[in-house]
Every structure is written in C-alpha cells, then in structure tokens.
Amino acid sequence: MEGTVFTPALEGIKHVKSEEGVMLTKPFLDVCKHILPIIEKFGAAMALVKSDIGGNITRLDSKYLSNPTKYTNLYSMVQEEVEAKTAKGSSSCTNGLLWLTRAMDFLLELFRNLLEHGDWAMSQACSDSYSKTLKKWHGWLASSSFTVAMKLAPDRKKFMDVICGSGDINSDIEKFCSTFSPLLEENHKFLASVGMDELKAS
C-alpha cells in the first residue's frame, strides 16, 4: 500500500475543521472510520473496542445523514440533545461522541506507547494505555472483559510489520498523535461545557 495505514487518516485530519475553526461532523467521523482498519490488525484483542467505535460512528453518522445541513457541525447534535434533556440517554449522540472520543484517547495513548517504549510487549502497551484512559470510566464488567481481551494482543513486531506499508510508520504515528490529539481535547472541552464529560459506564 502507498504510505502507511495512517495515511488516509492523516489526510482526513486536514479537513476536520472548517475555515472558521468549527469541528465538522462528516470529516471527523471519516477520520475515525480510517482508524477501524488499524484496529482490525490487532485481531481479537481489540474486537470490543472495534465494535464499540463502529457502533458510535454509525449512531452519529445516521443522525448526520438524517439532516446533513442541520448537523454539519459535530456539536450541533449534542446541543440539540442537551436542550431537549435527552443527552444522558444511553443511545444519545452525546453519549456516542463521548465514548468515541474516549476510545480514540485510548488508541492514541497506545500508539504513543508503541513509539516511546520500544521494549514493551504489545499487551503491556495496551494495558498501560487502558489504565490511563478508559479504565476510570468503565464499570467492573467492562473493565474485566477488557483486561481479558488485552491478553490476546498480537506480537508487537508482527503488528508493526503489518501496519507500516511503504511509509515511515514511526513518523506517521507521531504525526497522527500530534494532529488528532488537539481535536479530541476540543471534544472533551465542549462535552465538559455542557456537563457531559464525566459520564461513567453503567
């Protein structure tokens, strides 16, 4: 493949914000969709994460497609739910955006670990990122299923060989983390401003 598995996402990140600096729904979701094939390469260890991310993308995407003009801006669907007092519902778009952002936090942390800790096994890189990101939001059940899944993490070298393609994988991971991270931060800030950044899983 041309470049690395991160190439499409890196290209997509450039279009996430409008000229006025507004976070756009479709380009943001497209970047998240480009991450799915990377998660697939983790195999069974990431099956939970993949279905969770996929489900949240689908939920936000369907809302967007129901009225693309109205929901061009990613936060408009959240504002609408906050005003209607439906934002805390488990099937709300607010909830979808919150968990999608948290799952992306976890993956960024994992990619950073792979860059910064060359001596770590994949399962250690996964567990460390999980404890820094998703763990505090998960209840006991989700947490224990996650811990079991991490034990199925693929061999690190094999994984890196699969994702590097013909490009410089370390440089692309670095670029992806540094350009996507501020967008996730912005989501958290927005969700916090409407009192939705602290929701825990039941």
Give me the pLDDT at residue 139, please.
82
Q: What is the pLDDT of residue 18?
A: 96
3-state secondary structure of 50: helix
C-alpha span between 73 and 139 (Å, rounded) = 31
Predicted local confidence at residue 202, as pLDDT = 59
Averaged confidence pLDDT in the chain: 92
Helix axes 47-66 and 76-84, enclosed angle (nearest 10): 80
132 to 30, 107, 116, 127: CA distances (angstroms): 26, 11, 15, 9
User: For residues 178 and 67, is the Cβ–Cβ distance under 8 A?
Assistant: no
Q: Find tokens 């007092």 and name the residue.
A: 85
Tell me the residue type at 197. Answer: D
DSSP classification of residue 73: B
pLDDT digits (tens, 9 = 90+) for 149-183: 888 888 998 888 888 878 899 999 999 999 999 99
What six digits make up the tokens of 164?
């590097």
Identify the pLDDT of residue 161. 86
Give residue 18's region: left, alpha or beta (phi > 0; psi -120 to 50): beta
In whole angstroms, give the CA distance from residue 91 to residue 105. 21
How much is the pTM? 0.94
**Percentage above 70 pLDDT, the chain:** 99
Contact criterion met (CB below 8 Å) for 73 and 24: yes
Phi, psi angle pair for 24, to nearest 5°: -95, 140
Quickly state the pLDDT bin for 81 (edges 50, 70, 90): very high
Determine the distance from the C-alpha atom of residue 164 to the mean position of all C-alpha atoms in its chain, rounded to a whole number: 20
Q: Which of 5-14, 59-68, 148-157, 173-182 has the lowest mean pLDDT?
A: 148-157
Domains of the chain: 6-191 (1.10.3520.10)
1: pLDDT strictly greater than 80:
no
Mean pLDDT value across residues 26-35: 97
Residue 198 has pLDDT above 80, yes or no: yes
Kindly list the distances between the CA atom of residue 163 and the CA atoms of 30, 86, 152, 160, 170, in Å, as whole numbers in the listed order. 19, 40, 18, 5, 11
Across 129-142, average pLDDT: 88
Looking at the chain, the whole-number percentage of residues with pLDDT higher than 90 is 74
Tell me, rounded to whole angstroms, the distance of Cα 182 from its chain centroid.
13
